[in-house]
Amino acid sequence: MKILSVVGARPNFMKMAPVVEQILQRGIPHLFVHTGQHYDENMSRVFFDQLGMPRPDVDLEVGSDTHARQTARIMTAFEEVCREHRPDIVLVGGDVNSTAAVALVSAKEGIALGHVESGLRSFDRSMPEEINRVVTDHLSTYLFTTEESADANLAREGIAPERVHRVGNCMVDTLLKHVRTAVERAPWTGLGLDPAAYALLTLHRPSNVDDDAALASVMQAISSVSSRIPILFPVHPRTRRRLESGGVPIGNGIRLCEPLPYLAFLGLMAKSRFVLTDSGGIQEETTALGVPCLTLRRNTERPVTVTHGTNRLATTPEEIQAGADEILAGHWRTGESVPLWDGRASERIVDVLVRSRP
C-alpha cells in the first residue's frame, strides 16, 4: 500500500502532521505533496520545521490566484503526480481549494481518497470552504470525522455508513503534542504582554473583510473591546490589504503584527484571556485549551465547540461587546471534553487504512 498525503494551506499542516508521522512510524510507503497554495515563510514553510514534518517530496508551487484558476492549476499539476507515482490512497485534510482539487483528480484517476475532517457543514454555500467540503466528502472512500454532528450530516446526505469513521480531531493531536513547548517559549514577553491580560484576534473570511462596511463594523466593535484589554491582531495579508484600502480605523488597544508561526500563535492562544476569530480551526483549538472564544460569524460548521466547548457565535457589535463583558467578568463557561479529542485521532486513521489493505 502506497499512501500519498497532500497539504496546501496553513490549516492543512496541523491536521496532516500527526497522520504523516503515524504513516512513517509504521513504515508504510508514503509520498508527501505540497500544492503551494500557501507559500510564504510564516503561512507555510515554517510549519514544516515547527511540526517536525518531512520536507515535501513534491512541491507543485501553484501560488495565489482566483479560486477557479488556482483549483485548475492544482488539478493539472496533481494529475501528473498521480500518473507518475500511482498511489493506492490519497489523503487530504480540511476544506481549502487544494483539498477539493486533489479530490477531483483522485476520483477521476480511480484512486481511493481519504478525507481528514469530513462531514463538517455550515450550511452556507456562500463560503467557498463549504463547497470544498461537500465536493470532497462525496468523492471520498474514507471519511474521517471529528464529532457526532459530522456523522449525522453525512448520513443525511446519503453517504454509506461503512465509509464513515469517527476518529477524533487531528488538530487536537498536534495541539496536545506541542502546547507545552509553545507556552514555555513565552511568546507574549517579546510583545510586551502578560499572560491572561490580553485577547487574540484573527480575521480573514470574505464575509467579514471583503465588504468595507462589514469590516468597519467588526473593527469598531473590537476597538471598543480593546479599550478594556489589549488585543493582539496577527493580520492575514489579505485582511491587511482590505484594512488599508478601506481606511478602516484601528483602536489604540489593538496591536497589529505579521502572521505568526504555529508555536508562537499556540503559546499566545493558550495564555490569552479570550480569542476573537472567524477561523474554523481556532474554534476547535480554544475548546481543547479551555480558552473562551467569540466566533465572528453567523454560523459554524463545528457546533460541538458551542455545545461542549468554550465557543459562542457573535456577529453584531452588541453581541461582541456582551460576550467580552461576560468573559472579563469571569462568567464564561469552562467547557467540557469532546469525545475522542484525546490526541490519538491520527492513530485511528492509520488503523482504518491498514485494516482496509487488500
pLDDT of res. 1: 92
* Fold category of 181-328 in CATH: Rossmann fold (3.40.50)
Per-residue pLDDT reduced to its tens digit, 38-64: 655 555 567 778 888 888 999 998 888
How far apart, in whole angstroms, are the C-alpha atoms of residue 176 and residue 169? 11
pLDDT of res. 39: 56
* Residue 96: CA count within 13 A, CB half-sphere: 22
Catalytic residue among 67, 85, 204, 308: 204
How far apart, in whole angstroms, are the C-alpha atoms of residue 198 and residue 255? 10
Burial of 100 (0-12, 13-18, 19+ CB in 10 A): buried
pLDDT of res. 230: 98
Per-residue pLDDT reduced to its tens digit, 233-266: 999 888 998 898 888 889 999 999 999 999 999 9
Q: What is the 3-state secondary structure of the chain?
A: CCEEEEECCHHHHHHHHHHHHHHHHCCCCEEEEECCCCCCHHHHHHHHHHCCCCCCCEECCCCCCCHHHHHHHHHHHHHHHHHHHCCCEEEEECCCHHHHHHHHHHHHCCCEEEEEEECCCCCCCCCHHHHHHHHHHHHCCEEEECCHHHHHHHHHCCCCHHHEEECCCHHHHHHHHHHHHHHHCCCCHHHCCCCCCCEEECCCCHHHHCCHHHHHHHHHHHHHHHCCCCEEEECCHHHHHHHHHHCCCCCCCEEEECCCCHHHHHHHHHCCCEEEECCHHHHHHHHHHCCCEEECCCCCCCCHHHHCCCEEECCCHHHHHHHHHHHHCCCCCCCCCCCCCCCCHHHHHHHHHHHCCC
Q: Is it the case that residue 217 has pLDDT exceeding 60?
A: yes
Q: Is it the case that residue 12 has pLDDT exceeding 80?
A: yes
Percentage of the chain exceeding pLDDT 90: 81
Fold match flag (3-168+341-355 vs 181-328): yes
Per-residue pLDDT reduced to its tens digit, 297-341: 999 999 999 999 999 999 999 999 999 999 999 999 999 999 999
How far apart, in whole angstroms, are the C-alpha atoms of residue 143 and residue 165? 6
pLDDT of res. 169: 98
The answer to whether the CB of 310 falls within 8 A of the CB of 290 is: yes
Per-residue pLDDT reduced to its tens digit, 26-41: 999 999 999 987 655 5
pLDDT of res. 11: 81
Structural domain spans, the chain: 3-168+341-355, 181-328
Q: Is it the case that residue 347 has pLDDT exceeding 70?
A: yes
Distance separating the N- and C-terminal Cα atoms of the chain = 9
Percentage of the chain exceeding pLDDT 70: 97
Per-residue pLDDT reduced to its tens digit, 94-114: 999 999 999 999 999 999 999
Homologous superfamily (CATH) for 3-168+341-355 = Glycogen Phosphorylase B; (3.40.50.2000)
204 is catalytic: yes
Per-residue pLDDT reduced to its tens digit, 264-304: 999 999 999 999 999 999 999 999 999 999 999 999 999 99
Residue positions counted in the chain: 358
pLDDT of res. 43: 52
Q: Would the pTM count as exceeding 0.85?
A: yes
Cβ neighbours for 113, distance < 8 A, ≥ 6 positions apart:
89, 90, 91, 92, 103, 106, 107, 136, 139, 140, 141, 142
Q: Rounded mean pLDDT of the chain?
A: 94
pLDDT of res. 237: 83
Please give the backbone phi and psi of residue 228, each rounded to the nearest 5 degrees, phi first.
-110, -25
The answer to whether the CB of 201 falls within 8 A of the CB of 277 is: yes
